[in-house]
Chain A
Amino acid sequence: MPSLKDLKNRISSVQSTQKITSAMKVVAAAKLRRAQDAAEASRPYAERMAGIIESLARNVGAGTDASPLLSGTGKDDTHLLLVVTADRGLCGAFNASIVRETRRRVVALQQAGKTVKLLIVGRKGRDMLRREFSSLIVEAWTGIGKKGVHFSEADMVTEKILGMYAAGEFDVCSVVYNRFKSAMTQIVTVTQMVPTALPEVAEDAGAGEAKALYEFEPDEEQILRDLLPRNLAVQIFTALQESAAGEMGAQMTAMDNATRNAGEMIRKLTQQYNRSRQAAITKELIEIISGAEAL
């Protein structure tokens, strides 16, 4: 049975933990708002980019060899995975679920006889994957998105990927990231980025009426060649932003749970404290009364 003093100490330590977690929750909520706003603001660019690519796809038709980003290398021997995690922990299963999915993929690909390479964003992912797959990691970035995700950061990652692709270091590239669904839910998503899949153009979609035929300057294939690397950067940028928003959402939820658990613990400890204090008082009274009766 812990003494009254021990109980008091434990209560006050849980109370200060609760203060910290609830402050972290508020901070995460504010950062989440900002991350969501940023994601919202970057949507027009991605939408218009997708629109242009769609009209290009309509005009170029299938079987084009405009860019190796489109046609691929003709093999799928080497897979590159871009793993997007957070730099910091204390956000529930956010990083763990990404790492778990990555591990599953790597093992599956290796069993199928493919070579796997990893690019990692975020300190947590790097630390967790380094133990098992340190020989597969090509590069790991930390500190991305510390002050909000900037396009230049997505550009940096894109450049690395394009450089590797040009040097023939991989055939297929996919990104593994947490898609932000709500503050409570993040969905681990895997999207193939290289080779790019052009959107399917429905034959009878009434293409003639709403969508006019475009003129292109310079020709379609040249534009595609310029556009596809940009599109890759936009995809990576979107993934980084979704992940940043997801991290804040996960942290908010985790901290909310922690605050609630701390409250529960304080309630239990206080009850125990009151009980033992009452027991001590009762014991003393009994001693006094029985002492008086003996006289």
Chain B
Amino acid sequence: MSDKVQFELVSPERLLSSELVDMVVVPGSEGYLGVLPDMSPLIATLQPGTIDIYKGTEIQRRIFVAGGFVEVSNSKCTVLAETAIDVAQLHRANIEQEIKDLNEDVADAKSDDERAKAEAALLLAKARLQAVTGELVV
């Protein structure tokens, strides 16, 4: 059997990447999952977080996803995600500014609907910040 994982990342608009890698760590909704070759088939939902792509024992690429699904079968790992950004393209200052704005939005929200929307966006922004800094943001 092969000792590599065929990793595919697809967004609704296009196939973002498809490559052979040694290991992928995906942010499952119930905890991070490491996908290795010949793993038993699995379907899981994702929470906002980073996908770490390993070549050898080094992290070769980190991609932020805002949720989605992962399917593992026959040494193939397919991630379906609507938003996927390379962590290298995220800027800490921008996200911190965004969090500040969103905090204000939550405070200013007039209806429950508005508040729920702003809070959801805030959670996403915090997850992005966490992806950049690697620290937990509360």
- Report A's interface with B, CB cutoff 8 A: 38, 41-42, 44-46, 48-49, 51-52, 55-56, 150-151, 154-155, 212-218, 222-223, 226-227, 230, 233-234, 237
Contact = CB atoms under 8 A, between A and B. Distances in A.
B73 A52 contact: no
16 contacts: A41-B15, A42-B14, A44-B14, A45-B15, A52-B69, A55-B43, A151-B82, A212-B40, A212-B74, A213-B41, A214-B42, A216-B42, A217-B30, A223-B69, A230-B80, A233-B12
A46 B8 CA distance: 14
Contacts of B43: 52, 55-56, 214-217, 223
Interface in B62-84: 69, 71, 73-74, 78, 80, 82
The DSSP consensus for interface residues of chain B is strand
Interface residues of B, number: 24
Nearest to B71: A52
A217 B28 contact: yes
A48 B41 contact: no
A226 B30 CA distance: 14
B45 A222 contact: yes
Contacts of B8: 44, 48
A234 B12 contact: yes
| 7 pairs of A and B residues whose beta carbons are closest in the complex | A41-B14, A217-B44, A151-B12, A212-B41, A214-B41, A45-B10, A215-B42
Nearest to B31: A217
Contacts of B45: 217-218, 222-223, 226
B29 interface: yes
Interface string B6-22: 00101111110000000
A48 B44 contact: no
A219 to B, nearest CB: 10
Given A218-B29, A234-B12, A45 B44 contact: no
B13 A49 contact: no
A44 B13 CA distance: 9
A71 B28 CA distance: 27
**A interface, by DSSP: helix, strand, loop or mixed?**
helix
Contacts of B12: 42, 45-46, 151, 154, 233-234, 237
Contact of A216 (B10, B11, B44, B74): B44
Contact of A217 (B13, B14, B42): B42
A56 B14 CA distance: 24
Contacts of B42: 214-217
Nearest to A234: B12
B13 A38 contact: yes
Given A151-B82, A226-B45, A48 B10 contact: yes
Contacts of A55: 43, 71
A19 to B, nearest CB: 36
Given A223-B44, A234-B12, 20 more contacts: A44-B14, A45-B15, A48-B8, A52-B43, A56-B43, A150-B13, A151-B82, A154-B12, A212-B41, A212-B74, A213-B41, A214-B43, A215-B41, A215-B42, A217-B30, A217-B33, A217-B44, A218-B30, A223-B69, A230-B80
A233 B28 CA distance: 22
Interface in B53-99: 69, 71, 73-74, 78, 80, 82
A160 to B, nearest CB: 13
Contacts of A237: 12
Given A217-B28, A217-B44, A42 B80 contact: no
Contacts of B40: 212, 215
B70 to A, nearest CB: 9
Nearest to B11: A45
